[in-house]
A and B are shown apart, each in its own frame.
Chain A
Amino acid sequence: MNFEFTEEQLMIQQAARDYAQRELVLDVIERDNNSIYPTKHVKALAELGFMGMMVSPEYDGAGMDTVSYVLAMEELSKVDGSTSVIMSVNNSLVCYGIETFGTEEQKQKYLRPLARGEKIGAFLLSEPEAGSDATSQKTTAEDKGDHYLVNGTKNWITNGNTASVYLVIAQTYPEKGHKGINVLIVDRHSAGISVGPHEDKMGMRSSDTHSVMFTDVIVPKENRIGEDGFGFKFAMKTLEGGRIGIASQALGFASGALERSIKYAQERKAFGKELAKHQSVAFKIAQMAIEVENARNLCLKAAWLKDQGKPYGYASAMAKYYAAEIAMKVTTEAVQIHGGYGYVKEYHVERLMREAKLTQIYEGTSEIQLIVISRELLHVH
């Protein structure tokens, strides 16, 4: 057992912290208010190597481990969830999916620019009527011999407009249920794709979430990842790792809110003494710190298991469930500690609270994580 980080891991954590505290923070409120996509930050983070940080250097990634990824996601999310979710989708869903299951040609053509962050990817699973129940895919990928013909609508797609590479989950053999589903790499600029308007969201307002419509979109056969019918398994496997990213994001919201609360409680005075000297505030902060620490340990354990090549689906579901739940709780308490100041945008904690809510919903709702965890324990499938 060893709780020490390596020097490299600490450097990555520091680099992410420096970028977040020096750069992201400067325009985060304005971007949130006006739903402005963080173009320059995505470019800068790509240059620093964050957009493909876990991809092997062989494919132009940085070759860092998942523990480093947790540390980086936490630091960036303390300040800006919109930017960190762009990074999370690109790294743990799109790059990971292609690197782990793609062909050599797919890696050369798509993974390299994605790992360099020159191109951004999106993961298209959810549909208007298929969210938690991802098996009931209505989007179809008809097998036309040398190509697939894709039709249907995907909903809530992060990077929906800015991405140039889509990973699309679609049904090829409806009679086979989830075993008939495929995953295709689709060029966003293919004929027949149209992107819906930017969703006007509660939080993560600076990330671009869109619905994407496919009408007779031709996708070459060689763009299918894995065997015929591998799509659903692909999605589930990829999401197992994605959950480490979102869990770390939730952790960042909580630890960011905690840091701000500690600072505020030491500065703000009420009834002649600092808030920190009122025991009910001090205890609240202690409680928040315990929850943050627990969430961090769960995230790091899931990451460690993944780095060791051991099964991590159960651990990542636990990390995601717990981190998302406490993120909601800790950010709400942070607003409370800040009083009226917490309710206005300048103090950042209300944004963290709005953003925390999403971590209980996407990449599998909290209820879905409980299903994953309980099935594992009770052996019901």
Chain B
Amino acid sequence: MNIFVCISNVPDTTTRIKFKPGNKEVDFTGVQWIINPWDELALTRAIELKESNPADVTKITVITVGKADAEPTMRKALASGADEAIRIDAAPEDAYTTAVQIAEALKNESFHLVLCGVESSDYNSWSVGGMLAELLDVPSVSAVSSLNIENSKPVVTREVDGGKQTLSTSTPAVLIVQKGIAIIPRIPSMRGIMTARTKPLKVVQGVSTEPLTKIVDFQAPPQKSSCKMIDPEHLDELPELLHKEARVI
């Protein structure tokens, strides 16, 4: 089984976002770039599956739409354990153009599963995965929070209102994954870092496509209030909030 993982190159989640004059464009100067956290979890799960079922998962390829400055992020994905990388040389203009570029590139590849993060932490459009499945004309499963391979078939769990649903799907398929798919994102080992440069990073030309949306204006969110109230009934949320939001533990 060949697994493709779509990687979005996004600003570090602790970045203080600034806009260029006119508020139509983000000012990316000085920004540190990382693998979109959801994509990183998807990649982690793909690597875990390859490690535990080497017979089932033959190759993991990471794919991105981006210019050359996205390459360090792709090499980090290779260092973490992906086998190959493809960079589609085009600027990701909106969710639609991104999905079109990936779909066109995938038409030249043999793939069984395409993993997409449910959203990217920069533009939060929540739409690439679904559009990609349509453009490729393959089934898709959304809100996937666990993925296993049983008898060479993908078996996924997805979150539904108040519960979980387990599905198995034919391949090729697009899986739109969310938190839970993997718990701790894979940190590249020294060995991985050393071998990343020797792994193929293929650059393919993008196709010509027009965005369907246009950014009219950005507005910074209002300043976060420094005090957050927690319902005494839900005290168990506290450690999570201290860890994920306040980042003090």
CB <8 Å contact, A7 and B75: yes
Which residue of the partner chain B has the closest CB to A47? Answer: B189
Contacts of B190 in A (CB 8 A): 12, 15, 48-50, 53, 62, 64
Q: Which residues of A contact B226 (CB under 8 A)?
A: 267
Q: How far is the CB of A67 from chain B (nearest CB, A)?
A: 14
A residues in contact with B189, CB < 8 Å: 15, 47-49
Decide yes or no whether B248 CB sits under 8 A from chain A. yes
Establish whether residues A346 and B188, one from each chain, have CB atoms under 8 Å apart when the complex forms.
no
Residue of B nearest to A7 (CB): B72
In the complex with contacts A7-B72, A7-B75, A10-B72, A15-B193 CB distance below 8 A: yes
Q: How far is the CA of A123 from the CA of B194 in the complex (A)?
A: 29
- B248 contacts A22, C-beta separation under 8 Å: no
B194, A14: Cβ atoms closer than 8 Å = no
Taking the complex as formed, is A118 at the interface, i.e. its CB lies under 8 A from any CB of chain B? no
A156-198 contact mask (Cβ, 8 Å, vs B): 1 or 0? 0000000000000000000000000000000000000000000
Q: Given A7-B72, A267-B226, A346-B248, are A15 and B194 also a contact pair (CB < 8 Å)?
A: no
Chain B minimum-CB-distance residue to A50: B190
CB-nearest residue of chain A relative to B246? A267
Q: Are A15 and B249 in contact (CB under 8 A)?
A: no
Minimum CB distance partner of B226 in chain A:
A267
> B191 near A62 (CB under 8 angstroms)?
yes
Q: B79 interface residue, CB < 8 Å from A?
A: yes
Q: Tell me whether B76 is interfacial, beta carbon within 8 Å.
A: yes
Question: Given the interface contacts A11-B75, A267-B226, does A63 sit within 8 Å of B194 by beta carbon?
Answer: yes
Query: Size range of the interface on A?
Result: 20 to 34
CB distance from A261 to the nearest CB of B (A): 14
Compute how far the CA of A49 lies from the CA of B189 in the bound complex, rounded to whole angstroms: 6
- What's the Cα separation between A15 and B191 when bound, in Å? 12
Minimum distance in angstroms from B96 CB to a CB of chain A: 32
Q: Which of B222-249 contact A (CB under 8 A)?
A: 226, 248-249
Determine if A105 is an interface residue (Cβ-Cβ < 8 Å). Answer: no
Q: For the complex, what is the distance from the CA of A160 to the CA of B75, rounded to whole Å?
A: 39
Q: How far is the CB of A276 from chain B (nearest CB, A)?
A: 13
Of B72, B187, B194, the residue contacting A18 (CB under 8 A) is B187
**Chain A contacts for B197, CB-based, 8 A:** 8
Any chain A CB within 8 A of the CB of B55? no
Contact B194 A8 (CB under 8 A): yes
State how many residues of chain B have any CB contact under 8 Å with chain A: 18
Q: What residues of chain B lie closer than 8 Å to A10, measured between beta carbons?
A: 72
A230 within 8 A of B: no
Tell me the minimal C-beta distance from A277 to chain B in angstroms: 14
Within 8 Å of chain B (Cβ to Cβ): is A101?
no
Residue of B nearest to A61 (CB): B190
Most buried by B among A8, A22, A50, A64: A8
Q: What is the minimal beta-carbon distance from B131 to any residue of chain A, in angstroms?
A: 31
Return chain A residues, CB-CB under 8 Å to B75: 7, 11
The answer, yes or no, to whether B184 is at the interface (CB within 8 Å) is yes
Complex interface residues of chain B between 67 and 119 (CB less than 8 A to chain A): 72, 75-76, 79
- Mark contacts of B183-211 with chain A using CB atoms, 8 A cut-off: 1 yes-contact digit, 0 otherwise: 01101111101101100000000000000
Contact A62 B184, CB 8 Å, known A14-B76, A49-B189: no
CB distance from B11 to the nearest CB of A (A): 14
Compute how far the CA of A82 lies from the CA of B248 in the bound complex, rounded to whole angstroms. Answer: 20
A25 an interface residue at 8 Å Cβ cutoff? yes
In the complex, what distance in Å separates the CA atom of A11 from the CA atom of B193?
A: 7
State whether the Cβ of A270 lies closer than 8 Å to any Cβ in chain B: no
Query: Which one of B79, B184, B190, B194 has the greatest number of beta carbons of chain A within 10 Å?
Result: B190
Q: Which of A45-101 contact B (CB under 8 A)?
A: 47-50, 53, 57, 62-64
Chain B contacts for A49, CB-based, 8 A: 189-191
Give chain B nearest CB distance to A309 CB in angstroms: 21
Instruction: Specify which chain B residues have a CB less than 8 angstroms from the CB of A14 in the assembled complex.
Output: 76
Q: Using Cβ atoms and an 8 Å threshold, which residues of chain B touch A57?
A: 194
B76 to A11, Cβ gap below 8 A? yes
Inter-chain contacts of A48 with B (CB < 8 A)? 187-190
* 8 A Cβ contacts from A4-40 to B: 7-8, 10-12, 14-15, 18-19, 22, 25-26
| Residue with the highest number of chain B CB atoms closer than 10 Å, among A11, A12, A18, A26 | A11
B32 nearest CB neighbor, chain A only: A14
In the complex, chain B residues whose CB is within 8 Å of the CB of A267: 226
Q: B31-73 vs A: 1/0 string, CB under 8 Å?
A: 0000000000000000000000000000000000000000010
What separation, in Å, do the CA atoms of A57 and B79 have in the docked complex?
17
**In the bound complex, how far is the Cα of B194 from the Cα of A8, in angstroms?**
7
Contacts of A18 in B (CB 8 A): 185, 187
Closest CB in chain A relative to B71 CB, distance in Å: 9
CB distance from B239 to the nearest CB of A (A): 10
Instruction: Give the contacting residue for B184; candidates A11, A22, A53; CB below 8 A.
Output: A22
CB A135 to nearest CB in B, in angstroms, measures 37
Q: How far is the CB of A123 from chain B (nearest CB, A)?
A: 22
Closest to B76 in A: A11
> Can you pick out 21 interface pairs between chain A and chain B where the beta carbons lie within 8 Å of each other?
A7-B72, A8-B196, A8-B197, A11-B196, A12-B190, A12-B193, A15-B187, A15-B188, A15-B189, A18-B185, A19-B187, A22-B187, A47-B189, A48-B187, A48-B188, A48-B189, A49-B191, A53-B190, A62-B190, A62-B194, A63-B194
5 nearest A-B residue pairs (beta carbon)? A49-B190, A62-B190, A48-B189, A11-B193, A18-B187
Residues of A within 8 A of B (CB): 7-8, 10-12, 14-15, 18-19, 22, 25-26, 47-50, 53, 57, 62-64, 267, 346
Q: A19-B187, A22-B184 are in contact. List 11 more A-B contacts (CB 8 A).
A: A8-B193, A8-B194, A8-B197, A12-B193, A14-B76, A15-B188, A15-B193, A25-B249, A47-B189, A48-B189, A62-B191
